[in-house]
Amino acid sequence: MFHKEGHKIIALTFIIVIGLFLIVDNFVSTTWLNYLLMSFLFVFLILILQFFRNPKKKLVLNDSTIISPVDGKVVVIEEVFEPEYFKDKRLQVSVFMSPINVHVTRYPVAGKITYSKYHPGKFLVAWHPKASEENERTTVVVDNKLYGEILYRQIAGALARRIVNYAVKDQEVEKGSDSGFIKFGSRVDLYLPLDTKIKVQLNQKVSGGESIIAEM
């Protein structure tokens, strides 16, 4: 199953790969080079397909938990000052996605969207300390009945060139449902209340919609 954001790119990739296959087959007479080029095209097609895959998830819908919005690895757990919306201290948990991870973004909690804003910016590597302030990004705040307002931020990386954000202000959203997509490598930051109990560790691999990031 593939995410809708990849349908056009997948179709275009199929056309290009098939065209190049025919060119290689007809004009490259050297056997080893023919096989090498065809193998490269096949691997390229597989990489595009796996990037846009959207596997079914066993969503964790327990109201007392906050789930990971994306697949990836936990790279930051620290108390920070959040300057854009809260303008006070929060617990930040950041998940880095490599190009081989599923890049669907999911709502970490259910509730009402109170803030959704896109910021143009740079394309520093996603783990750069200034990426959350200087890179292209979107900031979304969900008002949850148990936790209050939870902020998450989609951040483009060095390879990412498009962030898709479905969150609309005043919209009611379900926990674990699609909230967007980031194309080709990126990171998502979560900003949580200081009294939240973090359930993950640094360098832990997490699964979007399934892994529990925190609970009250």
User: Annotated active-site positions, please?
Assistant: 186
| Joined tokens for residue 191 | 């900003």
CA distance 209 to 206: 9
Tally Cβ neighbours within 10 Å of residue 14: 13
Residue 48: helix, strand or coil by DSSP? helix
**CB 148, CB 193: distance < 8 Å:** yes
| Per-residue tokens: 111 | 């509730």
Contact 126, 137 (CB under 8 A): no
Cα four-point dihedral sign 190, 192, 194, 198: negative
